[in-house]
Amino acid sequence: MRAIATVSISGDLSDKLEAIARAGFEGVEIFENDLLSWGGTPEEVRELAQSLGLKIIALQPFRDFEAMPEPQRTRNLERAERKFELMKALGTDFLLVCSNTSNHAVDDPERAAADLREMAERAQAHGLRIGFEALAWGRHISDYRDAWDIVQRADHPALGLVLDSFHTLALDLPTDPIAAIPGERIFLVQLADAPVMDMDVLSWSRHHRCFPGQGRFSMASFMQALADTGYNGPLSHEIFNDSFRAAPPRETALDGMRSLILMENMAEHSPFFQSLPSPPVCDGVHFMEFTLDEESAAPLSHWLAAMGFCRIGRHRSKNIDLWQQGDMHVVLNFETDSFAHTYRLIHGISVCAMGFRVNDPELVMARASAFQARSYSGPIGAGELKIPALRGIEGSLIYLVDPETARDRQWRTDFELSAHDEQPDAGLARIDHISQVMPSTQLLSWQLFYKTIFDFEAGSEHELADPRGLVLSQAMTSRDGTIRLPLNASQATETLPGRFQAEHKGGVQQIALATEDIFATVDQLIANGLPLLDIPANYYDDLAARMDMDPELLQAMQDRNILYDRNEDGEFFQAYTPLFADRFYFEILERRGNYQQFGAVNAPIRLAAQSRQVSQSGSRR
């Protein structure tokens, strides 16, 4: 059963239940605070859940119970009796008891077991069950193995174990011993992931948990050990996350469902295993589509031509141009009655679609559908090609094209192709990466979208210093490295991505194009009249001090405003255009050796230069 705890979602209890049901969950844990602050009665919660098709699988948490001295012990049992009455009103038969964090608690497993046995006995008298969970910061019991020891000592049929991946993996406990626990003695499994952080486990847990797949915990080892137990009860998310508390409930619930489907797919021998269409083998970004008005057509066409692109075709039935260079295609969409136009109304002139080359587009569509992604089909003319497409989180499209169609048929079918111009290209061969901007509360949603549907991997997180605040950046990359999508978000509203988010509602802000010879390419671009972002001389002075650089190479870089990075894998050269119409910009780059990063060390230099450009153009608010 797919379940989630109400604390994971924002809103009041009815907002939460509605969002949870709509995302397709079957079960819900009622986090007690959500009930206490709700205006309705427990009976009304039961009715609402029923009407939404949700089973209330647990009331939680019941705190600071076991191994207390008197009179707290007696008080605690009275408190339990009251909660049993509440559970009956709610229509749930299960109460989660988490290990005691009180300083008054006694370090005595026998006492803890006796108390839990007594509570279980009382629960059973009401037809109820309880489960015991080790909190990672429990006073005496913080390891699930100790909790399991106590459950065994208590030896009562109405008492079982609750496992939580966060409490297990945050303490770096081994997961192998889970496999030896009989599945029927596990009454509930809670799932949560988290980024790796070196901080106290309570704050980490209360603020930084995330859905499995969004963090860095070894969820696979947890899920595989769990599969060995034969456990077939609910898998339930329990996420405490500051951003989730502030995000729209339906978006969070959808992410939770995606995460759970991914987790179910992690161990083939588990009772809850669900087979999924395989993720695609990717073969690079095939094209980008810009949505433009007539006014921006000339300046962008000028830029494209200056970058060595050539206009090679015109759509047979639509107001759409096709440009090409090397392996790359650029589509300029001027339609006024289309998806592109709708997107333009919200986001302004922008990149409204990307095309990915994948081995089997229909299989990706099937996988995307399993993860509840939205597909898109636009109107097509007679004889034109139908290209499968998904909607990204902010509404732009991802077209999926197999390499063979991509090579030739796609363009020939839909476009009137013209003879190539004589103008030489600039040596730009492929789209290296495309950076997208989103609200910082949504970065994890985008990450999970690309991870679940495309099996992209999350790179390391970078905090980039913009002159007006920090920018968080994390790249999602296809397994073979042919598609790279850095995600950028900033809580600060005056940074480059912060302003882009506020003014243009996010989307693609950067398009990075790769060359095999950045010096020749940049010379060509300059000769063609393409403006490049000015890099301060101070940067090159420092580069000379920091690194052992050939002075001639350094001078060649400085002459061309080329930035540089180097690591043990290789070298990296990058140059930037200014912002086009205060919206998006292009990067020109060359990778040497096996350098796989994005030059994060240079980002503050680039962000400051862009900030100067924006100041000068007078468009800063």
Q: Residues comprising the binding site? A: 133, 164, 190, 238
Give the CA radius of gyration of the chain. Answer: 28
> Taking the mean position of all CA atoms in its chain, how far away is CA 610?
27
Q: Which of 172, 382, 545, 551 binds its own copies (CB under 8 A)?
A: 545
Other residues' Cβ atoms within 10 Å of the Cβ of residue 52: 16
CB of 326 to its own copies, least distance (A): 32
Nearer to its own copies, 107 or 534 (CB): 534
Per rule CB under 8 A, is residue 556 in the interface with its own copies? Answer: no
Scanning 5-58, the segments in alpha helix (DSSP H) are: 13-22, 32-36, 42-51
- Is residue 200 close enough to count as binding its own copies by CB under 8 A? yes
Structure tokens at 133: 């969970």
CA angle 593, 553, 429 (to 5 degrees): 45
Listed ranges 112-120, 238-246, 303-311, 314-322: which one lies at the site for its own copies (CB under 8 A): 238-246
Contact between 550 and its own copies by CB under 8 A: the answer reads: no
Q: 18 vs 264, which CB is nearer to its own copies?
A: 18
| DSSP-assigned states of every residue in 234-266 | -EEE---BHHHHHS-HHHHHHHHHHHHHHHHTS
Give, as ranges, the residues between 378 and 397 that touch its own copies (CB under 8 A): none
Instruction: State the minimum distance, in angstroms, from the CB of residue 22 to its own copies.
Output: 18
DSSP-derived letter for residue 7 is G
Find, among 296, 361, 284, the residue nearest to 326 by Cα: 284
Distances (CA, A) of 612 to 100, 169, 349, 466: 56, 45, 22, 11
Contact region with its own copies (CB under 8 A), list: 167-175, 297-305, 377-385, 601-609: 601-609
Q: How many residues bind its own copies (CB under 8 A)?
A: 56
Which of 172, 295, 408, 548 touches its own copies by CB under 8 A? 548
CB of 498 to its own copies, least distance (A): 8
Task: Give the nearest distance from C-beta 475 to its own copies in angstroms.
Answer: 21
Q: Which amino acid is at 53?
A: G
User: Residues annotated in the binding site for a divalent metal cation, as ranges?
Assistant: 133, 164, 190, 238
Q: Which of 395, 406, 274 is nearest to 327 (CA)?
A: 406
Residues 336-375 that bind its own copies (CB under 8 A): none
Among the listed residues 2, 4, 5, 11, the single contact to its own copies using CB under 8 A: 11
Strands 428-437 and 507-515: antiparallel
CA–CA dist 360, 379 (Å, integer):
22
- Compute the distance between CA of residue 432 and CA of residue 426 in angstroms, rounded to an integer: 15
Segment contacting its own copies (CB under 8 A): 11-19, 214-222, 253-261, 406-414? 11-19
Which residues, numbered 114-153, are part of the site for its own copies (CB under 8 A)? none
String marking each residue 71-110 x if it binds its own copies according to CB under 8 A: ----x--xx--xx--x------------------------
The residue within the footprint of its own copies, chosen from 47, 107, 110, 242 (CB under 8 A), is 242
Please answer whether residues 212 and 241 qualify as being in contact, where contact means their C-beta atoms are separated by less than 8 angstroms: no
- For residues 389 and 399, is the Cβ–Cβ distance under 8 A? yes
Q: One symbol per residue from 21 to 40: x for binding its own copies (CB under 8 A), - otherwise; what is it?
A: -----------xx-xxxxxx
Q: Are 431 and 516 in contact (CB under 8 A)?
A: no
Decide whether 433 or 606 has the Cβ nearer to its own copies: 606
Determine which helix (DSSP H) or strand (DSSP E) holds 109, and give its type and residue range. Answer: helix 109-125
CB of 119 to its own copies, least distance (A): 14
Interface stretch with its own copies, choices 283-291, 345-353, 536-544, 563-571 (CB under 8 A): 536-544
Asked if 491 and 442 count as a contact pair (C-beta separation under 8 A), the reply is no
Q: Should residue 419 be labelled a site residue for its own copies when binding is judged by CB under 8 A? A: no
Q: Considering beta carbons, is residue 270 or 490 the nearer one to its own copies?
A: 490
Contact string 263-302 vs its own copies (x = CB under 8 A)? ----------------------------------------
Report the residue number, 25 or 539, with the smaller CB distance to its own copies. Answer: 539
Q: Which residues contact 317 (CB under 8 A, 6 or more apart)?
A: 381, 384
Closest CA to 233 of 186, 267, 270: 186
C-beta of 199: minimal distance to its own copies in Å? 4
Q: Which two tokens stand for residue 527?
A: 């000769």
For residues 523 and 588, what is the distance between their CA atoms, to the nearest angstrom? 12
611: contact with its own copies by CB under 8 A: yes
Query: Which pair of tokens denotes residue 217?
Result: 């915990």
The Cα–Cα gap between 611 and 607 comes to 6
Q: Closer to its own copies at the Cβ: 382 or 537?
A: 537
Q: How many residues make up the chain in this entry? A: 621
What minimum distance in Å lies between the beta carbon of 86 and its own copies?
A: 7
Of 179 and 246, CB closest to its own copies: 246
Supply the minimum distance, in Å, between the C-beta of residue 73 and its own copies.
14
* Binding positions for its own copies, 436-495, rule CB under 8 A: 465, 467-470, 491-495
Give phi and psi for 61, each to the nearest 5: -95, 160
* Rounded-to-integer distance, Cα 469 and Cα 221, Å: 38
Note the residues at the interface with its own copies (CB under 8 A).
10-12, 15, 32-33, 35-42, 75, 78-79, 82-83, 86, 197-200, 203, 242, 245-246, 465, 467-470, 491-495, 534, 536-539, 541-542, 544-546, 548, 604-605, 607-609, 611-612
